[in-house]
Amino acid sequence: MNHSHKSRQRTPSSSEGGSIAELLRQLIQDATDLVRQEIRLAKLKVMEHVRRGTYSAALLGAGVVFLGVGTLVFIEFLVLGLGVLLNNRYWLSSLIVALLLMALGGGLTLWAARRFGDQFEGDPEPEKRTPILPARNRRSGTLEAGGRPPRTGTEPADRPGDHGRSARDA
What are the residues whose beta carbons fall under 8 Å from the beta carbon of 45, sequence distance 6 or more?
none
pLDDT, residue 43, reads 94
Q: Which runs of consecutive H residues, i.e. helices, occur in the chain? A: 14-85, 90-118
53 lies in some domain: yes
Distance between CA atoms of 148 and 169, rounded to whole angstroms?
Answer: 10
62 lies in some domain: yes
> By C-alpha distance, which of 147, 118, 115, 116 is closest to 131?
147
pLDDT, residue 55, reads 92
Q: Is the pTM of this model over 0.75?
A: no
152 lies in some domain: no
* 85-109 pLDDT tens trace: 999 999 999 999 999 999 999 999 9
72 lies in some domain: yes
42 lies in some domain: yes
87 lies in some domain: yes
pLDDT, residue 117, reads 79
State which residues form the domain around 23: 18-92
136 lies in some domain: no
CB 97 within 8 A of CB 79: yes
6 lies in some domain: no
- Total of domains in the chain: 1
